Amino acid sequence: MDEISGARMKKVHLIVYSDYLCPWCYNAAVRMRRLEEELTDKVEISWRSYLLRPRPDPDRTLEKFREYTKSWLRPAGDLDAASFRVWQSEAGPPSHSLPPHLVAKAAALVGDAEFRRVHGALLRAYFHDSRDITDGATLAAIWNECDLPRDAFDRHREPELLHRVVAEHNEAREHGVTGVPAVRVDGGDGVVVGAHPYSLYERWVSRLSAEAT
C-alpha cells in the first residue's frame, strides 16, 4: 500500500470520558455506537472512566433517588435518545460510580467485543431496567447475561483496574473535564463536553478524516 492510500485509511481516534450513572452519557453512547457503525472506516472510539460519584453517599435514600430519576425524562426527550424510564424497582439507590467501571474494565480484559456488550448492558440495565449497577450480585448477573467467562468476573477486584479507573479520571481532569460525556481527539487537548446531536459528531469526524488524507 502506498503512502497516499495508507493516509486515506487512517481513522480519527476519539477518546470519550463517561460515567455509567450519567444519563447524558447513555445518549452519547448511543450516538458513538452509531458513529462506529456508519463511519467504520473513519472513526475509532476508546471509552475512559470518569467518576461523578467517586465515593458512596450514606445519606442518599431510595425515595430521593427515585425522585431524581424523573430528571432522566429530559435526556429521553432528545431526538436521537437512548431508552429511559423513571425508576421502577425497589433496588438501590446506587452507591457510587466505581463498581460498574471496574466490571467494564474487567470485560475489556476479555476482549473489545466483550467490553462493548457489557458497556451497553450496564447503561440499559440502569436507565431502562431499574437495576442497581453498583450492587455486586446485579453486576455478576449482567456479566453472565452478556455471556462472558464466569471466572473472569473476579478480575474486577484487581488493584490494577482500580488504578486504571482513577488514572483515567485524573487524565480527564488534566484536560479540563469537569462533566461528562466529554470527547477529545487522541493527541489533542481540546475537549467537546456534552451529549451533542449525532449530526455534530458525524460532521466532526468526517472533517477530521478529510483533513487527515
Cβ atoms 165, 103 nearer than 8 A? no
Q: What is the mean pLDDT of each run of 10 residues along the chain (213 residues)?
A: 48 97 98 96 97 94 97 96 98 97 98 98 98 98 98 98 98 96 94 96 93 77
Cβ atoms 111, 72 nearer than 8 A? no
In tens, the pLDDT along 108-132 reads 999 999 999 999 999 999 999 999 9
Cα 14-19-20 angle, rounded to 5 deg: 120
What per-residue confidence (pLDDT) applies to 10?
81
The crossing angle, in degrees rounded to 10, of helices 112-127 and 136-145 is 130
Query: Alpha helix (H) ranges present in the chain?
Result: 3-9, 23-38, 62-68, 73-76, 98-110, 112-127, 136-145, 159-174, 198-212
What per-residue confidence (pLDDT) applies to 8?
52
Q: Which CATH number fits domain 3-212: 3.40.830.10, 3.50.50.60, 3.40.30.10, 3.30.910.20?
A: 3.40.30.10
What pTM was estimated for this model as a whole? 0.93
Domain positions in the chain: 3-212
Q: Assign 32 to helix, strand or coil.
A: helix
Cβ atoms 96, 53 nearer than 8 A? yes
What per-residue confidence (pLDDT) applies to 4?
39
What per-residue confidence (pLDDT) applies to 6?
43
DSSP state of 52: S
Residue type, position 168, single letter? E
Query: Alpha helix (H) ranges present in 58-97?
Result: 62-68, 73-76
- All three cell numbers of 30, joined, read 448511543
User: CA neighbours within 13 Å on the CB side: how many for 40?
Assistant: 2
What per-residue confidence (pLDDT) applies to 2?
39
Burial category of 142 from C-beta neighbours within 10 Å (exposed 0-12, middle 13-18, buried 19 and up) = buried
